[in-house]
Structure 1
Amino acid sequence: MSTQTSDLLAAAAPRTVDVVRGISDDQLDLPTPCRDYLVRDLLNHLFQVVVNFQELAEKRQVEWAEKPDHLGDGWRDRFEVETDRLVAAWSDPSTLEGVSPGMGMPQSVIGGMALLDLTVHGWDLAVATGQPYHPAPEAVAELHGLVERLGPTARQMGVFAEPVPLAAPTEATIPDLAHLLTQTGRTPTWPTP
């Protein structure tokens, strides 16, 4: 069984897993496009997202205040296992029904938020560690509408920065991805303006 959400997550996950596997221990203290997040901080955040959104698929409450350190022994393998579990968690059509009791939004939006974090933070980690990143085109296409819908509230809550003007894409940026990144307040040519 699968859903559109699980299919999109399945397309996006391996690309981010590849980036995570490519991060060396000596890169954990590098800066990222996410203000105030070093690579290790962003990895821990993304790990928490991947784990918590499994619970959100089951309409369970999650704890965001706790900030566990997921970067113990075998963390790269565990990240892949958890992303596989994330995809599986959203594969039942019932996960997309109703409103999330913990988040107060439609479950379909919650699934989209997991896809957004997996895709955008995959890019964040790739550029921070000098790796190539080629997001799933179908995920990027789907995320434009979600970012437009969530943008005002996300900016108000400090989740997104203000949109960045879209410069001409470079060879390193894919036009659709560049547009998505600018709408979340990122500069596609990071670290240069």
Structure 2
Amino acid sequence: MTTAVSVDHLARAHGPVGDLIAAIRPEQWKAPTPCAEWDVRGVVEHLVGMDLVFAAMIEGGGPMPERGADRLGDDPVRAYRASSAALETAFSAPGVLQRSFHSPMGSATGAERLQIRLYDLLAHGWDLAQATGIPLRLPEDLAGRSLAFAEVQLPSQNRTGRFAEPRPVEATAPAIDRLAAFLGRPVPWQR
């Protein structure tokens, strides 16, 4: 499995996660998720916030989004789609994937930043699907690529925050479940 990545991979992940978010019913926004500290709205807020943080990092020159700000307002779907478009535009600029970027997260190429954003997006999309029961219709190859990258990138890093130590999962499970388990989610997840 190759881990080469392109902006098309990001668009192919943003779309299904956006479709899932658009299907969330009003009573589901406060439902718990596999990220114990976030409910459904908190996970969507994180997705929007990280899209905007990565876009600001890639574009440079502008301020980082304000921490703790409500980015969803009364239209979380619109906020998600706008942040997705901003991130895809930032990563589409000529030469971005080859350039090196320095931030508090360390130094990495644009391609590496894109892969990091992609596995975070997929894992949190999985969280939303578990919390809401809404199917997440991701292309299998995206999760497989993200898992291959995460397996190389994460073992050498301290796993704090949203990603815990890997959990057991069947080797024949779909790639998205194996990615979720690798990032510390119990598969299957139980409320």
Q: Shorter-chain-normalised TM-score: which range?
A: 0.7 to 0.9
The 5 A counterparts of 1:32-111 are 32-59=33-60, 63=64, 66-102=67-103, 103-106=105-108, 107-111=110-114
Q: Number of paired residues?
A: 186
The code of the aligned residue for 1:180 comes to: L
Distance 1:190 1:141, change over 3 A: same
| Runs of 4+ with >2 A deviation | 59-65, 152-159
1:167 counterpart residue number: 170
Kept in 2, the 8 Å contact 1:155–1:161? The answer is no
Q: Deviations over 1:27-81 (max 9, x none)?
A: 1211101121111211111110111111122245764771211221222122112
Q: Equivalent residue of 1:96, what SS? A: coil
Q: How far off its partner does 1:88 sit?
A: 1.9
Kept in 1, the 8 Å contact 2:48–2:71? The answer is yes
1:114 matches 2:117: yes
Higher helix share: 1
1:137 matches 2:140: yes
TM-score by length of 1: 0.85
1:182 counterpart residue number: 181
Kept in 1, the 8 Å contact 2:159–2:165? The answer is no
Higher strand share: 2
Q: Equivalent residue of 2:101, what SS? A: coil
Q: Equivalent residue of 2:71, what SS? A: coil
Kept in 1, the 8 Å contact 2:44–2:76? The answer is no
Kept in 1, the 8 Å contact 2:48–2:79? The answer is no
Farther off after superposition, 140-149 or 41-50: 140-149
Counting aligned pairs with the same residue, the percent is 30
TM-score by length of 2: 0.86
Q: Which runs of 5+ in 2 are unaligned?
A: none
Farther off after superposition, 27-36 or 60-69: 60-69
The code of the aligned residue for 2:43 comes to: L
State the superposition RMSD in angstroms.
2.3
Q: Equivalent residue of 1:37, what SS? A: coil
Q: Which runs of 5+ in 1 are unaligned?
A: none
